[in-house]
Amino acid sequence: MFSVTVRDHIMVAHSFRGAVFGPAQKVHGATFVVDAEFRRPTLNADGIVIDIGLALDLLKKTLEPLNYRNLDDEAVFKGVNTTTEFLAGEIHRRLSASIRDGALGADGPAIAVMRITLHESHVAWAGYEGPPSA
């Protein structure tokens, strides 16, 4: 399987519900380095997985509505613990919808698997992986 990964970041504020989260139950900030990996079994006629420029632009556009936001104030996240794992899945869902709408051009449908990884720090990260067609 061939792959291309692009990277950006977001800065958010949020809080969690549940004793398991300890002090993170209070509002706190997080900066996530976000990797979007696109995989396909064969290269296109130009010998690439995807146009890296299109992928970078799409990731930036997808992250923009989350960046510099208090996620607790966003209606779409009311009642949800916006954990790193949850956000990886949410970013995957949003990117997938854009790919299905043609944001990556003719190569979009050839993407078999997309993996989103959010790095909380140099020692901890979480992700979500699946086909963009799901």
Residue 21 phi, psi (nearest 5): -90, -5
CATH superfamily of 2-29+40-130: 6-pyruvoyl tetrahydropterin synthase/QueD (3.30.479.10)
pLDDT digits 0-9 by tens, 69-99 = 999 999 999 999 999 999 999 999 999 999 9
Which residue is it, tokens 């043609």?
102
How many angstroms separate the CA atoms of 23 and 111, rounded? 40
Nearest in space to 110 (alpha carbons), one of 30, 28, 24, 46 = 46
What are the structural domain ranges in the chain? 2-29+40-130
At 8-67, the pLDDT tens digits run 999 999 999 999 999 999 999 999 999 999 999 999 999 999 999 999 999 999 999 999
- Tell me the sheet residues that pair with 7: 35
Longest dimension (CA), the chain: 53
Q: How far apart are CA 132 and CA 62, in angstroms?
A: 14
